[in-house]
Amino acid sequence: MKHLLSLSDISREDLRKLVELTEYFKKIRLAGNNCPKILSGKSIGLLFEKPSTRTRVSLEVAIVELGGYPVYMDPRSLQLARGEPIKDTARVLSRYLDAIVTRVYSQETLIELKRYSDIPVINALSDKFHPLQAISDMFTLKEHFGFIKGLKLAFIGDGGSNVCHSLLLACSMLGVSMSVACPPEYQPQKDVLDKAKEHASVTGAKIEVVENPEKAVEGADAVYTDVFVSMGFEKEREKRLKIFLPRYQVNRQLLKKAKNSAVFMHCLPAKRGEEVTEDLLEDPEISIVWTQAENRLHSAKAVLAYIFGKR
C-alpha cells in the first residue's frame, strides 16, 4: 500500500512519473476527453484541520472526475472534537473509506493516522511538508520551460516552511538547483536539507541556503515565495514580520537580479505587501501563480492514480 506523508515516501523515478502523469491528465481535460474512471466505486476521505481553497477543491473535483466519491470531514464536526483519539478515528474510517487525504497541524498526526490506518494516507499539508504542492510545481516548471533538469529555483522567505521543505526535496530529486534565502532563525530543518543534499549528489542539483535574497536569485529561472506566517504560527505574526520585512519581500527590483526570463511562483494564498508586491503577483508576463493553482487539479489526479496503482 502506498502512502504520501512526504516526498521521502516516493522514489525519484516515481516523482518523474507523477510529473508525466500530470501532463497526461491536463492534456485529456483540455482536449475535452473523459477522464478514466479509475476511482469508480471508491470513497476518498478529506479530513482538513485547517482552511484550504486549492487543495480541497482540486481534490474534490479530481476525485469526482476520476469516478470516485469525496467525503469531506471537518474535524470540528467529528467526534475528534470531543476527544476521540486519532488512532480510533483512523481504524473506523479505514473500514468505510478507500483512502484518507488530510491537512493537519502536526506531521505527528499524520504518522499516527498512517500507523492505525489500513488505507493509504496522503498529506494535504502539515506543519512540515506540502508534497502535493511541490509535485504540482515540478510539473508547472516543466510545462513552462519545456524541461526540468538544470533549472534553478530561488526560494525567498521562510526556509522552514512546509512549502520550502517539500520544494527542497522535489527540486533535488529532479535535478533542479535550489537556493533558499532566509533569515538565520528560519532556515530549513536539518533532516530535510540533508535529504535534499543526498538527492542532489545523485541528480547534480546544487542546493544552498543563504541569507541574502539577491545572492539566491542570481541566475534563477524561477523565484518562489510563500507567506511569512504559515497557518498555525499566527501568534508569531508580529515577530516574523519584523524579521522578514522588508528584506525578504519579492518585488520587481529583486526579480531584475534573476534571469531575464525568470518567472514568479507562489503556492497561494498570498499576502500582498508582505512576501510579494501586488504588481508583481498580478503581472501576467512574470507571474505564473494562476497556472500553478490550476495545475493542482491535474496533479491531484496524478497522485490519486499513483496511489491506487492505476497508471
Residues annotated as catalytic (active site), given as ranges = 103, 130, 133, 226, 267, 296
| DSSP-based three-state secondary structure for 308 | coil
- The yes or no reply on residue 298 touching ligand CP (CB under 6 A) is no
Helices 12-30 + 131-145 axis angle, to 10: 70
- Exposure of 13 by Cβ count < 10 A (0-12 exposed, 13-18 middle, 19+ buried)? exposed
Compare residues 92 and 231 and give the one whose CB is closer to ligand CP.
231
- Cell numbers for 89: 478515528
Closest residue by beta carbon to ligand NVA: 230
- From ligand CP, ligand NVA, none, which one binds at residue 227 (CB under 5 to 8 Å depending on kind)? ligand NVA
Radius of gyration (Cα) for the chain, nearest Å? 19
Q: Which stretch binds ligand CP (CB under 6 A): 75-83, 189-197, 234-242, 264-272?
A: 264-272
Measure CA of the first residue to CA of the last residue in the chain; give whole Å: 15
162 interacts with ligand NVA by CB under 6 A = yes
For residue 30, give the H/E element and its range.
helix 12-30
Contacting ligand NVA (CB under 6 A), which of 63, 151, 154, 163? Answer: 163
**Minimum separation from the CB atom of position 260 to ligand CP (A):** 27
Q: Which stretch binds ligand CP (CB under 6 A): 182-190, 206-214, 248-256, 265-273?
A: 265-273
User: What is the C-alpha to C-alpha distance for residues 248 and 236, in angstroms, rounded to an integer?
Assistant: 17
Q: Smallest distance, Å, CB 110 to ligand CP? A: 15
CA 12, CA 211: separation in Å to the nearest integer?
29
Q: Are 38 and 310 in contact (CB under 8 A)?
A: yes
The interface with ligand NVA within residues 102-141 (CB under 6 A) comprises 125
72 touches ligand CP by CB under 6 A:
no
Size of the site for ligand NVA (CB under 6 A): 9
At 69, list the grid cell. Answer: 466519491
Q: Which of 54, 195, 199, 240 binds ligand CP (CB under 6 A)?
A: 54
Binding site for ligand CP (CB under 6 A): 52-55, 125, 133, 267-269
